[in-house]
Amino acid sequence: MKAALITFYHDNPNDKGLSILGSVAEEYHADAAIVLYTDVQYKISMILNRALKSGDVDALYDLRAYVHDLSVQLCYNEDVQLQPHDAVFRLYHGRDMSKIDLERLMTTPKGSLICVNGYLSTSKSEDVAKRYAHE
């Protein structure tokens, strides 16, 4: 994971990531994968999703242990959250989209499968999703 972070911060010199890179490498533990993903200071979500979207095999290889930890934590949280309810609950996801992509999405038949090549960050709050969509 450290190599992927170094590459990202080297390619994006305006980010202050190099100063926090050491703390990520030293303090990381598997139980904190979701916290690290959602922490805007580290930009892990941006790095991981960029690697997934571009198919950057080297970055994905560097992030493989983290992706495993994140996936395990997400599955565990899903089991914990669904046990008491066993019902559907509403989540929101905010995203900037081009008009072309939005039109394509709107014309997709209801119930169709929509594939994404990355993790979708969601919230129970519609307001939080709107902030991500810059609405």
Higher local confidence (pLDDT), 60 or 84: 60
**Which of 57, 59, 54, 58 has its CA nearest to residue 44?**
59
Question: What residues have CB less than 8 Å from 92, skipping those under 6 apart?
Answer: 122, 123, 124, 125, 126, 128, 129, 130
Mean pLDDT of the chain, nearest integer = 77
Q: For position 13, what pLDDT does the model report?
A: 56
> Per-residue pLDDT tens for 51-72?
888 888 888 888 888 899 999 9
Q: DSSP 3-state helix, strand, coil percentages of the chain (rounded to 5)?
A: 60, 0, 40
> Per-residue pLDDT tens for 13-27?
555 555 566 566 667
Higher local confidence (pLDDT), 11 or 65: 65
Number of residues assigned to the chain: 135
Question: What residues have CB less than 8 Å from 132, skipping those under 6 apart?
Answer: 93, 94, 95, 121
Note the pTM of the prediction, 2 decimals. 0.65
Q: For position 15, what pLDDT does the model report?
A: 55
> Per-residue pLDDT tens for 103-128?
888 898 888 877 777 777 788 888 88
Q: For position 113, what pLDDT does the model report?
A: 79
Q: For position 120, what pLDDT does the model report?
A: 75
User: In the chain, what are the domain boundaries?
Assistant: 1-86, 90-135
